[in-house]
């Protein structure tokens, strides 16, 4: 199995976690993927307002959706990991309302919109699964609204790490409550609507209480039970049940 095939498995694993894919559908999905591209860390590779003709599947590395305000304040809407179809939204929106950037070196595959359109004509069930993946993005957005709107600083951070743990497990990149998340405390601040200084303080608190350690881009969950309670984390919104869609 080539490296590409192995990485594409992550995207398939995500879909298989939610429904059964037949061999034809898997083949069509693989066939839709175009060129691979490597992008270094810290690049904005899709910009708000650009006209899009291709969507992008993230194969490896960490990326994010974000928007800025005029004063330079950045808000990250969602973190993305291998297997996430990061700008599938652009297929029908035609132009994104936000930017997409790489937080680490990443590997992506492009998918022409025309091929996605063809899938909606010839493979409605596969199309529904693609649709579903954008619905799960929306569910993740809603959970973030709840976090930023109503959870306190510790709860927001705890919730983010709970979510990423589950999403990493789905693609086989987390086990035993450990996973790599090579981002900075400033990135966490931009995701949780806090400042880097306050994130630092709350991370210390979580560490001191034995709930979680975040160091050198490595997350170690110390006490999953208590962390989830602190965050009021319920993974239901990630829709990890295999059923006919």
Partner DNA sequence: CGACTATTTGACGCCAGTCAACACCGGTGG
Partner DNA sequence: CCACCGGTGTTGACTGGCGTCAAATAGTCG
Site for its own copies, rule CB under 8 A? 48-49, 65, 67, 69-70, 73-75, 77, 89, 92-95, 97-98, 117, 120-121, 124, 127-128, 131-132, 134-139, 141-146, 148-151, 192-193, 232, 236-237, 239, 241, 243, 245
* Cβ–Cβ under 8 Å, residues 231 and 158: yes
Q: What is the dihedral sign for C-alpha 233, 167, 48, 139?
A: negative
Q: Could you say which of DNA, its own copies, none residue 201 binds, taking C-beta under 5 to 8 angstroms by partner kind?
A: DNA
Number of H helices, E strands in the chain: 9, 11
* Shortest CB 143 distance to DNA, Å: 17
How far from 227 is each of 117, 157, 197, 222, 223, CA to CA, in Å? 42, 10, 21, 8, 6
Q: Could you say which of DNA, its own copies, none residue 152 binds, taking C-beta under 5 to 8 angstroms by partner kind?
A: DNA
Q: Between 176 and 216, whose beta carbon lies closer to DNA?
A: 216
Q: Could you say which of DNA, its own copies, none residue 47 binds, taking C-beta under 5 to 8 angstroms by partner kind?
A: none
Distance in angstroms (rounded) separating the CA atoms of residues 219 and 206: 12
Q: Between 55 and 173, whose beta carbon lies closer to its own copies?
A: 55
Q: What is the dihedral sign for C-alpha 49, 138, 188, 217?
A: negative
Q: Could you say which of its own copies, DNA, none residue 94 binds, taking C-beta under 5 to 8 angstroms by partner kind?
A: its own copies
Q: Between 120 and 200, whose beta carbon lies closer to DNA?
A: 200
Q: Between 141 and 204, whose beta carbon lies closer to DNA?
A: 204
Cβ atoms within 10 Å, residue 224: 15
* Shortest CB 90 distance to its own copies, Å: 9
Distance in angstroms (rounded) separating the CA atoms of residues 167 and 172: 9
* Shortest CB 186 distance to its own copies, Å: 14
* Shortest CB 147 distance to its own copies, Å: 9
Supply φ then ψ for residue 237, to 5 degrees: -65, -15
* Cβ–Cβ under 8 Å, residues 78 and 65: yes
Q: Between 108 and 157, whose beta carbon lies closer to DNA?
A: 157
């Amino acid at each position: 199995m080539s490296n590409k095939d192995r990485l594409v498995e992550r995207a398939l694993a995500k879909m298989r976690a939610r429904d059964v894919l037949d061999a034809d559908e898997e083949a069509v999905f693989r066939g839709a993927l175009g060129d691979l591209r490597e992008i270094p860390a810290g690049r904005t590779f899709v910009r708000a307002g650009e006209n899009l003709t291709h969507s992008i599947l993230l194969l490896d590395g960490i990326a994010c959706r974000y928007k800025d305000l005029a004063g330079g304040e950045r808000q990250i809407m969602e973190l993305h990991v291998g297997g996430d179809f990061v700008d599938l939204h652009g297929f029908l929106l035609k132009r994104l309302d936000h930017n997409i950037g790489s937080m680490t070196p990443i590997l992506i595959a492009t998918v022409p919109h025309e091929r996605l359109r063809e899938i909606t004509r010839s493979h409605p069930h596969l199309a529904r699964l693609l649709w579903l993946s954008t619905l799960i993005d929306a569910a993740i957005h809603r959970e973030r609204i709840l976090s930023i709107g109503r959870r306190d600083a510790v709860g927001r951070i705890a919730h983010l790490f709970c979510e990423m743990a589950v999403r990493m497990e789905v693609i086989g990149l987390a086990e035993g409550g450990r996973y790599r998340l090579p981002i900075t405390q400033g990135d966490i601040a931009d995701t949780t609507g806090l400042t880097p200084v306050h994130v630092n303080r709350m991370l210390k608190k979580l560490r001191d209480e034995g709930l979680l350690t975040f160091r050198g881009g490595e997350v170690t969950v110390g006490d999953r039970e208590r962390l989830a309670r602190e965050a009021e984390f319920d993974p239901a919104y990630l829709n990890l049940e295999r059923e006919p869609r």
